Structure 1
Amino acid sequence: MRARTVRTLLVAGTVLLGTLGSPSAAQALPACPSNAICLWRYQDGTGDVYVWRGGYVDLPAKFVDHVGSFRANRTGAFIDWATGKDCRPVRVGDYASNYQGRFGGKIDAVGNTC
């Protein structure tokens, strides 16, 4: 009887840990190709996507000041030109599922470095 109780508790603990370890915001965003930074128009990786793979690029008009979420699979830099150069470095593994209220509401370009 005691072995059965221990097994039940072990199963319950495994289920609980599996629930607590459910996907984080980074995993909830859609996939992004390796060696790229993906920018989505809306939060949680929804809407149009822009895939940046390197070099300096002015964002397409619909993304300027309107990046709702992103995932970085390479290093890069987000740049705002509104009042001179304001730059945010981006590292591999960085992401935001709701970026519009932060620098996503300012971003004009993406480059390799600040």
Structure 2
Amino acid sequence: MKPRHLRTLLVTGAVVLVSLGSTTPAQALPACPANAICLWRHQDGNGERFVWRGGYVDLPARFVDHVGSFRANRSGAFIDWASGKDCRSVRAGDYAGNYSGRFGSKIDAVGDNC
């Protein structure tokens, strides 16, 4: 093998090893009851928790547009009423540790479906 190719392989291997070794595991969200969707005010399941178990529910004022993370143990829908109905379906197993920069900054209500 030519020295140039060998150097390229060594550098590539080193980059892969550093990349694999420097990944940090995702923060695990706290538990959420069976057949419920849990919303937290802050990311990674921190802060106050709201538990939704079914039906249409307007979120408490302190959660409106301020959902930092969620865990779904059932299907449901996140709803924003700011400019008509904007809806995001969620399924059992869905979660987000940092949802505030996404639809979590828009949620007004939770329901069974869109």
Pair 1:113-2:83 in alignment:
no
Partner of 1:72: 72
TM-score normalised according to structure 2 size: 0.78
Partner of 1:55: 55
Partner of 2:92: 92
Partner of 2:83: 83
Aligned equivalents of 1:56, 1:66: Cα separation in 2: 18
The one-letter code sitting in structure 2 at the alignment partner of 1:34 is: A
- Segments of 4+ moved more than 3 angstroms: 22-25
Q: CA deviation at 1:65?
A: 0.1
Deviations 1:23-71 (A, max 9, x none): 644xx10000000000000000000000000000000000000000000
Q: Which has the larger radius of gyration?
A: 2
Unaligned runs of 5+ in 1: 1-18
Deviations 1:49-95 (A, max 9, x none): 00000000000000000000000000000000000000000000000
Number of residue pairs matched? 93
Q: Secondary structure at the match of 2:48?
A: strand
Structure (1 or 2) with the greater helix fraction:
1
Partner of 2:16: none
Identity of aligned residues (%): 78
Aligned equivalents of 1:23, 1:69: Cα separation in 2: 17
Partner of 1:14: none
TM-score normalised according to structure 1 size: 0.78
Aligned equivalents of 1:86, 1:38: Cα separation in 2: 20
